[in-house]
Chain A
Amino acid sequence: DTGVSQDPRHKITKRGQNVTFRCDPISEHNRLYWYRQTLGQGPEFLTYFQNEAQLEKSRLLSDRFSAERPKGSFSTLEIQRTEQGDSAMYLCASSLGSRFGAFFGQGTRLTVV
C-alpha cells in the first residue's frame, strides 16, 4: 500500500500521560498535514509542513502539542499531559500542493480516560 500510513490506529491513555503518533506520507509528497476530527464534525486543521519546515500552526495546537518532520519524511505528533478533551481522531495527510488536494491516512483514534 503506497498511501498515507499512520501508527498506531488506536491509543487509549490515562489523563496526564504523553502520547506520540507517527505518520508516513506518500513518498513523493513534500507537504504533510495534521488534522483532528471529533464526532459529527469535519476535520480541523492543526499544522502543516513543507519538507521539514513547519510553516503553519492552528490556534487549536496548544503548547502541549508538538509536531516534527525530521528530514522531510515521516512526521510525529506528540501530545503532552493529555486531557479528556484531546480525545479525537488524529488524521495525517500529504499532498503535492494546495490545488491537488490532500490524501489522508486511516487516522489514530485517541481516547483519554
Chain B
Amino acid sequence: AQSVSQHNHHVILSEAASLELGCNYSYGGTVNLFWYVQYPGQHLQLLLKYFSGDPLVKGIKGFEAEFIKSKFSFNLRKPSVQWSDTAEYFCAVNGFGNEKLTFGTGTRLTIIP
C-alpha cells in the first residue's frame, strides 16, 4: 500500500526566509509525485509534479521540489517566502498507471510579515 509522510505539521517563518517542507513516501514501484497548495478559503491547487526526467522540478510561484529516489523523498523548497505563501501544503503520490492519489496529512505554513 502506498503512503505519504509529512513530518512538519505547522511551520512558521518570517518573510524572506528559506523554506523546505519534507515529504517521504512508501511505494514499491515507479511513482508520480505531486505537491498541492490550499490557500485559505480556496480549493486545492497543483503546485508542481514529477513523473520522470530531471529530479529537480520547478513549479508555480517560485517553488521547486527534488525527487531523491534513494531516500523516497520529494521535498518542497522555496528560497525566499512571502506572506502570500501562507497556506496548507500537501504532498501526494500515485503509482505509475495508478489513478489513486495518496495524500500526506499536510503542513500548515504561516508566514509572518
Residues of A at the B interface (CB closer than 8 Å) are 3-4, 31, 33, 35, 40-45, 48, 50, 55-56, 58, 91, 93, 95, 97-107
Contacts and interface: CB of A to CB of B under 8 A. Distances in A.
A42 B98 contact: no
B46 interface: yes
Given A33-B99, A48-B99, A98-B99, A42 B105 contact: yes
Interface of B: 4, 32, 34, 36, 42-46, 49, 51, 90, 92, 94-106
Nearest to B35: A101
B92 A103 contact: no
Given A42-B92, A42-B106, A31 B43 contact: no
B94 A98 contact: yes
Contacts of A95: 99
Contacts of A100: 49
Contacts of A33: 99, 101
Contacts of A3: 43
B99 A56 contact: yes
B44 A43 contact: yes
B95 to A, nearest CB: 8
Contacts of B51: 99
Nearest to B90: A42
16 contacts: A33-B101, A41-B105, A42-B90, A42-B105, A43-B44, A43-B90, A95-B99, A97-B99, A98-B95, A98-B96, A98-B97, A99-B32, A99-B51, A101-B34, A104-B44, A107-B43
Given A101-B32, A101-B34, A101-B46, 8 more contacts: A42-B4, A42-B90, A43-B103, A48-B99, A99-B32, A102-B101, A104-B36, A106-B43
A11 to B, nearest CB: 17
Contact of A31 (B4, B44, B99, B105): B99
Nearest to A55: B99
A93 B94 CA distance: 15
